[in-house]
A and B are shown apart, each in its own frame.
Chain A
Amino acid sequence: MKKILIALAIILLFSAPLIVSTPFFVHLMIMVLMWTVLGASWNILGGYAGQVSFGHATFLGAGAYTTMLFYLKLGIAPWYGIPVGGLVAALIALPVGFICFRLRGPYFALSTLAVAEIIRLVALNWESLTNGPVGLLITTLPPVTLFGRSIDWESKMPFYYIVAILALAALLATYVMSRTRLGAYLLAIREDIDSAEAIGINTVQARVAALSLSAFFAGVAGGFYAMYLRYIDPDAVFPIALSVEMVFIAVVGGLTTVAGPLIGAIFLVTLGEVFRERFLVGHLIFYGIFMMIAIRYMPEGIWGKLRLWMGAQH
């Protein structure tokens, strides 16, 4: 039953833009899937490991700038640049983790906020590398031929399929991680960090590993974001708002669940667009009200609540 549902979801995922191919819908789906990757990224650290980060835009931005700079300065095509963006984000996560994980709970959360601001200011002021506030712009993407057809980068379709694969990869990675010893250790750390240490878990190492994996996916999503928009500047990829949005998606979808970020992204990204269209002024008020209702009545998230109703164990 579960396998059939997953198979159906994947078929739907890959056929959706063929069924409804209006640019608005495809754009909406691309945003939903990109936010799925970002929500999944946050879920690995904030859900499984229970370490709240308010600075995940750090990794999104690192991935975005890496992918962009690899293309602009070194001429390396984005399809290589996007995974490299993930790797750079994961590497940045190592020193960040070893420093910030000396702190616990709210102090860790605040330190991630500080890191994001530091990195944003570096990007803003290191003009020789990043162009500072002017930002980086790509006018054309390099041509690619796949199965004998050249890909049309002016259409949204290729972006849809790229981000669909990234989203699947992020959810699959979450699933695989949750089944490994690292996944089990992260739950122990979330539940009680002293007890985790007392049974021999190197909690700094495990948390850094979680942060690094999490950062990889945020970086990959950032790389994709840069290629999709073809323009980035520090305020577009490093703002606190992006970090907070990742938290919302992971929490509203359902923390510590594999599919939660997808569900969260479907609801919040769609609602965000609908509210923006309906109420040009003050759409954030409605968004905020929805958030409050969701957190008040579904603290376990939409997907978490559904699973409770279905009586699922895992």
Chain B
Amino acid sequence: MAMLKVTGLTKFFGGLRAVHDLSFEIEKGEILGLIGPNGAGKTTAFNLIAGFIRPSHGEVFLEGENIVGMKPYAVTRKGIARTFQIVKPFRKLSVLENVTLAAFLRFPARREAESRARGVLEGVGLGGKASLLATDLTLSEQKRLEIARALATQPKLLLLDEPMGGLNATEIEQASRLVVDLCKGGVTIIWVEHVLKAIMNACHRVVVINQGEKIADAPPERVVENPDVIAAYLGAKAK
């Protein structure tokens, strides 16, 4: 059974069709890239899956269970965690507290939650920053904090919304490695990204959307050759 199966997902914002009849699947252990030009509907697709927006039509199945229409916190409890493209840390709380709050979901006792949170912070390379305020981290560290917080809820499926946005080349490489490590650790990942290079190296499969519709679904090396994808990104040749 697919880890996540999305069928016919559609969202209208008034007259604007942000996502149209989007269907795809992801198997356990996969890293699925979700790419597309600006405004293609990638983040909206995330918000639909994670329950932040209710779709106009369509279903979302997590391991066979229909979770469409559930509130975001309920979706997280079911095992889907997300990060935000524009980071949203709890700014005036410590890095450790940020992650501990997420660990409370599975470990109601503070001591246990804190020790889990420390473990997760070590894992994403923020072990030494635990006592800083979240607001004092660099952008790259805040992006890692987003991931740490999502991981602390012990998700089956992780939705990463542009974790590379705004990072420099070295940071991108480190972050890519982190994502691949997470996958090896048993988390299934859907990864929305603008930085195509990172996606091409790390993902098993890539879904391309343009103007809310899926235009390709294939391994990365095939996607880059797909004429529709090239047209979407670079514009079609005049006929």
* Chain A residues packing against B (C-beta within 8 Å): 181, 184-185, 187-188, 191-192, 194-203
Contact = CB atoms under 8 A, between A and B. Distances in A.
Contacts of A181: 104, 108, 110
B97 A184 contact: yes
Interface of B: 50, 52, 71-74, 76-77, 81-82, 84, 88-93, 97, 100-102, 104-105, 108, 110, 149-150, 152-153
A187 B90 contact: yes
A184 B84 contact: no
A267 B62 CA distance: 56
A187 B50 contact: no
A200 B92 contact: no
Given A181-B104, A181-B110, A184-B104, A198 B90 contact: no
Given A191-B89, A203-B73, 10 more contacts: A181-B108, A185-B101, A188-B93, A192-B88, A192-B91, A198-B50, A198-B81, A198-B149, A199-B149, A200-B77
B90 A194 contact: no
A200 B72 CA distance: 7
Contacts of B105: 199-201
Q: A181, A188, A200 — which one has the most chain B CB atoms within 10 A of its CB?
A: A200
A249 B92 CA distance: 23
Given A184-B97, A192-B89, A200 B52 contact: no
A213 B71 CA distance: 24
The prevalent SS among residues of A at the interface is helix
Contacts, number: 70
B90 A191 contact: yes
Given A181-B108, A195-B149, A201 B73 contact: yes
B84 A195 contact: yes
Residue from B72, B82, B152 having most chain A Cβ neighbours under 10 A: B72
A188 B89 CA distance: 9
Contact of A192 (B77, B81, B90, B152): B90
Contacts of A191: 89-93
Nearest to B103: A199
Top 7 nearest A-B pairs (CB, nearest first) are: A191-B90, A199-B102, A200-B76, A200-B105, A197-B72, A195-B88, A192-B88
Contacts of A203: 73
16 contacts: A181-B108, A181-B110, A184-B104, A188-B93, A192-B89, A192-B91, A195-B88, A195-B149, A197-B72, A197-B73, A197-B76, A199-B153, A200-B102, A200-B105, A201-B73, A202-B71
A187 B134 CA distance: 14
